[in-house]
Amino acid sequence: MTDILIRTEGRAGRMTLNRPDVLNALSWDMCLEIEKALRIWELDDDVHVVLIDGAPGRAFCAGGDIQAMHTAGKEQRWEYGQRFWADEYRMNALLFHFPKPVVAFLHGFTMGGGVGVGCHGSHRVVDDSSRIAMPECGIGLVPDVGGSLLLARAPGRLGEYLGITGARMDAGDAIYAGFADYYIPEDWDALKAELCETGDVNAVDAAATVAPASSFSDRQEEIDALFSGETLADIARALDTSNSPLAQDARKALARNSPLSMAACVEILHRLGDDPTIEQAMGLEYRFTARASEKGDFIEGIRAQIIDKDRQPKWAHPGPKDVPLADVSAMLRPFPLNLEAPK
């Protein structure tokens, strides 16, 4: 079975992630195939629009295929992850800057690496099944693949909340937070067929309907108050002052996720400000991810969640109030990232 189906249909270039048995998890080879197709279609006058979807099942793409990362990390082949992420981020940036409309159909779970493929296009479509999240802090990474860009642009302190807790967004939440654009609850096959036939992306606007209300809008003031701290420790202390349902759930997430990853996530978002470029975002992300296997909690996070599945990671730091600023700074020291196409 081909892991990704790439073809042209009418006036559309089409990509279908095709690994439903593993929630369409994104492999290194798939990243390279996506980049290759985009570079061809960018110059093809017969391709007017790009459609990205996932094989039917529970997910558009629930993340990257990271088991090979664990093997490489155990063998101390740190360059494996560094090369993979550089290639993946280059593909993400190409999607972000692609000069033609890119329509992504985000059914089911869209998480981690799936956000990098599905949430940088010009027209991001969700429905009632959609569940979007950046849960990387739970495996010892930081929100990456350009996800920090989306988090930094989210209203108020919503980015800090989503980034360090890994909270899942439904359709209304995703549109409110800036991870999606269009709510289309009906069967998408007719819309895909029309896009292929006409190449006219206005069909997406015509098919869209009013999205469900987001719970975040009602809780924005509380989120801003609880997640406005300068550091992760400040946020943890603020959460200790509240017994609201949101604060209780957030405390559980902070107790579960990697303290170093969460502290670095907060620092990255604060360095980026409100309107960064994707190059700035990925540059900071790469500083962490390039070191994550050797210096961070990533290998232990994969072991606990994916390999042994005991859900009992032994993080390097005891808790969210126990991460020295020097440790965060060490993970975010400059590390060169080249997003140019290889010659």
Q: For 190-225, how does the pLDDT look when each residue is reduced to its tens digit (9 = 90+)?
A: 999 999 999 999 999 999 999 999 999 999 999 999
If pLDDT is split at 50, 70 and 90, which confidence band does 1 have?
low
Q: Output the average pLDDT for the chain.
A: 96
> Given this model, what pLDDT does residue 13 score?
98
Q: What tokens were used for 178?
A: 């800036």
Sole residue written with tokens 């943890």 = 236
Contact 274, 153 (CB under 8 A): yes
CB atoms within 10 A of CB 314: 8
Q: How many CA atoms lie within 13 A of 51 on its CB side?
A: 29
Predicted confidence at residue 111, as pLDDT, reads 97
Question: Quick check: 121 and 242 in contact, CB under 8 A?
Answer: no
d(CA 285, CA 288): 5
Contact 201, 288 (CB under 8 A): no
The SS3 of residue 235 is helix
- The string of pLDDT tens digits covering residues 50-101 is 999 999 999 999 998 888 888 898 999 999 999 999 999 999 999 999 999 9
pLDDT at 343: 67
CA–CA gap between residue 46 and residue 40 (Å, rounded): 11
Q: Which tens digits make up the pLDDT trace of 144-160?
A: 999 999 999 999 999 99
pLDDT of residue 340: 84
What are the two backbone dihedrals, phi and then psi, of residue 211, each rounded to the nearest 5 degrees?
-75, 155
- Residue whose structure tokens are 């060169």: 336
Catalytic residue IDs: 64, 113, 136, 144
CA-CA distances (angstroms) from residue 332 to 81, 252, 268? 16, 26, 8
Q: What is the pLDDT of residue 67?
A: 84
What the chain holds in terms of domains, given with CATH numbers, is: 4-331 (3.90.226.10)
pTM for the model: 0.96
**Is 28:63 a contact under the CB 8 Å cutoff?**
no
The C-alpha angle 53, 217, 23, rounded to 5 degrees, equals: 25
* C-alpha span between 279 and 163 (Å, rounded): 19
Three-state DSSP at 5 gives strand
